[in-house]
Structure 1
């Protein structure tokens, strides 16, 4: 919701994969056990041959504002979808994508940092202790 594109992205995904497939994916997600769902999410969705590539594409759509064509193995196993191709569904969404804030930067070419900002040293985000 923070990007302002939630409804548009939902409509885009539904148009590409179809209402039935998206509904089954969402039902599987809502059926996950409460609490930390890392392993359950991996088992039920991310490692699922049909849902996994779609779920990863949804994540990439949020972060990059780009829908990437589903892998050829997915298309061979489940059929090619007429709307499935690599594209930016909403050109202005790129500037609001989550990639820039996630890496502590601005989206290249979309939100410049300002006059002579290149003269300043980069500001590095702290590394959480669990990642060291």
Structure 2
């Protein structure tokens, strides 16, 4: 999915914003201290105003297989399905210990096993 997602990112993000985002990401990773990197990502990449919400759009893309626009305004957010495989490979299914409906079926008889119990 890496190439598909990179192509989507390149197509959907203004070239100058993408260049600044990658430059900032490289500068952050050059810090080398894990705590400093974490804080820099939170402060410099994650705000909605940073690079038109590019970091959040990338995270949503990996989890859902969709490209989101208008990240800063939840009432106006729009998503576009990238393609069938991106939906099937979305990380949301792994995170939920589930499978996408209509794909990656868990196999015959899996219904006989109790679901995973997650302590709350």
TM-score, normalised to structure 1, is 0.72
Change (3 A) 1:69 1:47: closer
Residues 50-129 of structure 1: pairs in structure 2 closer than 5 A:
50-51=50-51, 53-71=53-71, 85-124=78-117
Q: Which residue of 2 aligns with 1:14?
A: 10
Q: Per chain length, whose mean CA-contact separation is higher, i.e. which structure has more relative contact order (CA < 8 Å, sep 6+)?
A: 1
Q: How many residues align?
A: 113
For 1:68, what is the secondary structure of its paired residue? strand
Q: Does 1:31 align with 2:27?
A: yes
Runs of 4+ in 1 over 4 A off after TM superposition: none
1:43 & 1:124 partners in 2: Cα distance? 35
Q: CA RMSD in A?
A: 2.4
Report which of the two has the higher share of strand: 2
2:17 & 2:51 partners in 1: Cα distance? 8
Unaligned runs of 5+ in 1: 74-83
1:48 offset after TM fit, Å? 5.8
Unaligned runs of 5+ in 2: none
1:117 offset after TM fit, Å? 2.1
TM-score, normalised to structure 2, is 0.78
Q: Does 1:49 align with 2:45?
A: no
> Is the contact made by 1:65 and 1:89 (CA closer than 8 Å) also made in structure 2?
yes
